[in-house]
C-alpha cells in the first residue's frame, strides 16, 4: 500500500533535485524512496552519490537499447578479447 509523504524543502532545492533526477532518467519519487529504504536498512545517512560521466551515460544508453553489445561463449574468450591473458 502506497502513501503520500509531504515534506517542507526549499523550492530551488526541490526544482534542482527534480531536474537532476530527470537528467539521470529516474523520477524524483524513485530517488526519495531509494534513500528512505537505504536509511531504514542501514540506519545511517549517506550524503554522496556519483553521477556517471558522459561516456558512461552513453554506454548505459547503448546497453539499454542493446547496441554495440558483444557476446562471448566463455570467460576465456572474454579475457582474450579484453587482452587479459
pLDDT (tens digit per residue) in 6-44? 999 999 999 999 999 999 999 999 999 999 999 999 999
pLDDT of residue 85: 61
Percent of the chain at pLDDT above 70? 99
Any domain includes 44: yes
Any domain includes 5: no
Residue 59 and residue 55: Cα distance in Å, rounded? 6
Domain count, the chain: 1
pLDDT exceeds cutoff 70 at 5: yes
Instruction: Give, in order, the Cα–Cα distances in Å from 74 to each of 31, 47, 66, 69.
Output: 36, 39, 20, 15
Any domain includes 49: yes
Q: What is the 3-state secondary structure (H, E, C) of 23-64?
A: HHCCCHHHHHHHHHHHHHHHCCCCCCCCCCCHHHHHHHHHHH
Any domain includes 3: no
Any domain includes 42: yes
Mention every residue, 6+ apart, whose C-beta is less than 8 A from residue 5: 32
Expressed as residue numbers, the domain containing 25 is 11-81
Question: Taking the model in full, what pTM does it have?
Answer: 0.53
Amino acid at each position: 500500500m502506497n502513501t503520500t509523504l509531504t515534506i517542507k524543502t526549499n523550492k530551488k532545492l526541490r526544482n534542482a533535485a527534480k531536474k537532476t533526477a530527470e537528467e539521470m532518467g529516474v523520477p524524483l519519487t524513485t530517488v526519495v524512496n531509494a534513500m528512505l529504504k537505504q536509511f531504514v536498512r542501514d540506519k545511517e545517512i549517506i550524503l554522496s552519490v556519483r553521477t556517471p560521466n558522459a561516456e558512461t551515460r552513453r554506454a548505459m544508453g547503448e546497453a539499454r537499447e542493446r547496441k554495440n553489445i558483444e557476446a562471448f561463449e566463455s570467460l576465456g574468450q572474454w579475457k582474450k578479447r579484453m587482452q587479459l591473458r
